[in-house]
Amino acid sequence: MPKKFVVTPWEVKGEVDYDKLIKEFGTKKIDDALLERIEKHAGELHLYLKRGIFFSHRDFDWILDKYEKGEKFYLYTGRGPSGNTHIGHLVPWIFTKHLQDVFGAELYFQMTDDEKFLFKRDIDLKTSMGFTYKNALDVIACGFDPKKTFIFSDIEYAKTLYKIGVQVAKHITFSTAKAVFGFTNENNIGTIFFPAIQAAPCFLPSVLKGKNIPCLIPAAIDQDPYWRPSRDVAPKLGFYKPAQIHCKFIPGLGKGGKMSASEPETCIFTTDSPEVAGKKVMNAFTGGAGTVKEHKEKGGEPEICTIYNYYRFFFEGADKRLEEVFHACKRGELICGECKGVLAERVKKFLTEHQKKREKAKDVIQDFMLKD
Ligand code: TRP
């Protein structure tokens, strides 16, 4: 029996089989030919492409066709501001920043404070709007170009977004929305309209600049359902279909599943003190055997180890070292305490630097926010 997993914009459960997801969602794998094309532009492939963390796409090859012919595209991504940012959230943002650098693209960054208010029972509007600003600090700390980066709250930028949203909404029937998002009679009516608002930024720069501009969305694969109706509607409104590039989920520090804010001990928040984060790493679930003696005899299981998985996300430029770690663990030569210690130091250093940039972002946040 294949193991069951669920991936929707609201729920990620079980051991995700990413190849199967590509088939189910009807996206394309990022293959060697595409990687070669990207490498030509980037000079060197980003860590997340080399390690298959960004693994799937829709029409990214078309984006490159356009770019190579001199037609610039823009980037669109976003965040549902329901709590503090954790380092799993940073993965698509770090990669988006890389794309901005390589292609000189503008970025439109949506903060869906409306979405989190509508979909989550225990959050009021003031709270989600507050997290828009707190989370924006983390976005800015990633180093985006202030001249080319526009962050907006759905609530505060509603006048512009609503105008696009209603045009999208008119072309999506309730029956399609039910099929794509699984809505039922119990859904509040705000949630049913919301996908039109998440679709709006796919066309926003085209509207603002009065010409059709290709759009590329870097995001975790769970957001893909949103782009299916957006792509269907695009030609009806006279726009290009938005292209996507999808990443996998960063695992939590507990057994199985993605990093999730609802299990704070398994996730490293950007607001955690480096000491607290270090302790979380030291308490993480590993692929080690029950005792050190057993581990030395039988070896560990890096395949299921959260620490090893983190190495894949955060150990820059050290592919060979990564392989060595894998085999040393398998042979029982490398014990968990040592491995955790190395990662804890890395994470502490990363957080210390990120937090400095996050503080500085407070002085410039207004330069990034789009208002109408
Ligand atoms: N729905 C996303 C979330 O809950 C936020 C979001 C809005 C988004 N627009 C996006 C994410 C575009 C990626 C790309 O986190």
Q: What's the 112 CA to ligand 1 centre distance in angstroms?
A: 7
Q: Whose CA is nearest to atom 11 of ligand 1?
A: 78
Q: What's the 77 CA to ligand 1 centre distance in angstroms?
A: 6
Q: How large is the average pLDDT for residues 148-152?
A: 98
Q: Where are the domains of the chain?
A: 6-249, 264-359
Phi and psi (nearest 5°) for 75? -105, 145
CATH code assigned to 6-249: 3.40.50.620
Tokens of 300: 């560990």
Q: How large is the average pLDDT for residues 171-187?
A: 96
Q: Is the pLDDT of residue 1 over 60?
A: no
Of ligand 1's listed atoms, the one at least distance from the Cα of 89 is: 15
Buried b vs exposed e over 34-50: b needs ≥16 C-beta within 10 Å? beeebeeebeeebbbbe
Q: Per-residue pLDDT tens for 125-139?
A: 999 999 999 999 999
Q: Per-residue pLDDT tens for 6-52?
A: 898 988 888 889 999 999 999 999 999 999 999 999 999 999 999 99
Q: Whose CA is nearest to atom 8 of ligand 1?
A: 78
Q: Whose CA is nearest to atom 7 of ligand 1?
A: 78
Q: Whose CA is nearest to atom 10 of ligand 1?
A: 78
CATH class of 264-359: mainly alpha
Name the residue with higher pLDDT: 16 or 108: 108
Q: What's the 143 CA to ligand 1 centre distance in angstroms?
A: 19
Q: What's the 334 CA to ligand 1 centre distance in angstroms?
A: 39
Amino acid found at 195 = P
Pairing of strands 54-58, 243-247: antiparallel
Q: What's the 120 CA to ligand 1 centre distance in angstroms?
A: 15
Q: Is the pLDDT of residue 327 over 90?
A: yes
Phi and psi (nearest 5°) for 76? -135, 125
Q: Is the dihedral of CA 136, 137, 138, 144 positive or negative?
A: positive
Tokens of 194: 């919301």
What's the rounded Cα separation, in Å, for the pair 277 and 274? 5
Q: What is the pLDDT of residue 128?
A: 98
Percent of the chain with pLDDT over 70: 97
Q: Per-residue pLDDT tens for 292-322?
A: 899 999 999 998 899 998 888 877 666 778 8
Q: What is the pLDDT of residue 258?
A: 66
Helices (H), the chain: 18-25, 32-42, 47-50, 60-68, 87-103, 113-119, 125-141, 158-169, 174-181, 189-199, 204-209, 224-233, 274-282, 292-298, 306-314, 319-330, 336-368
Nearest CA to 343 out of 234, 271, 253, 236 is that of 253
Q: What is the pLDDT of residue 120?
A: 94
> To test the ligand 1 pocket, which listed residue (112, 227, 247) has its Cβ within 8 A of the most ligand atoms?
112
Per this entry, what is the length of the chain? 372
Q: What's the 242 CA to ligand 1 centre distance in angstroms?
A: 14
Q: What is the pLDDT of residue 123?
A: 97
Q: Per-residue pLDDT tens for 230-279?
A: 999 999 999 999 999 999 988 888 886 666 777 788 899 999 999 999 99
Q: What's the 80 CA to ligand 1 centre distance in angstroms?
A: 6
- Tally Cβ neighbours within 10 Å of residue 212: 14
Q: What's the 333 CA to ligand 1 centre distance in angstroms?
A: 42
> To test the ligand 1 pocket, which listed residue (223, 224, 258) has its Cβ within 8 A of the most ligand atoms?
223
Of ligand 1's listed atoms, the one at least distance from the Cα of 201 is: 9
Q: Is the dihedral of CA 178, 182, 184, 188 positive or negative?
A: negative
Q: How large is the average pLDDT for residues 318-346?
A: 89
Burial of 236 (0-12, 13-18, 19+ CB in 10 A): exposed
Average pLDDT, the chain: 94
Of ligand 1's listed atoms, the one at least distance from the Cα of 220 is: 13
Non-local CB neighbours of 149 within 8 Å, separated by 6+ positions: 100, 106, 107, 109, 140, 368
Non-local CB neighbours of 98 within 8 Å, separated by 6+ positions: 42, 46, 48
Q: How large is the average pLDDT for residues 211-221?
A: 97
Q: What is the pLDDT of residue 257?
A: 64
Q: How large is the average pLDDT for residues 309-336?
A: 84
Please identify which residue in the block is written with the tokens 């269907």: 232
Q: What is the pLDDT of residue 322?
A: 83
Around 297, how many Cα atoms within 13 Å sit in the side-chain half-sphere? 6
What's the rounded Cα separation, in Å, for the pair 181 and 337? 43
- Tally Cβ neighbours within 10 Å of residue 365: 14
Residues flanking ligand 1, CB < 6 Å: 9, 76-80, 110, 112, 115, 198, 217, 219, 223
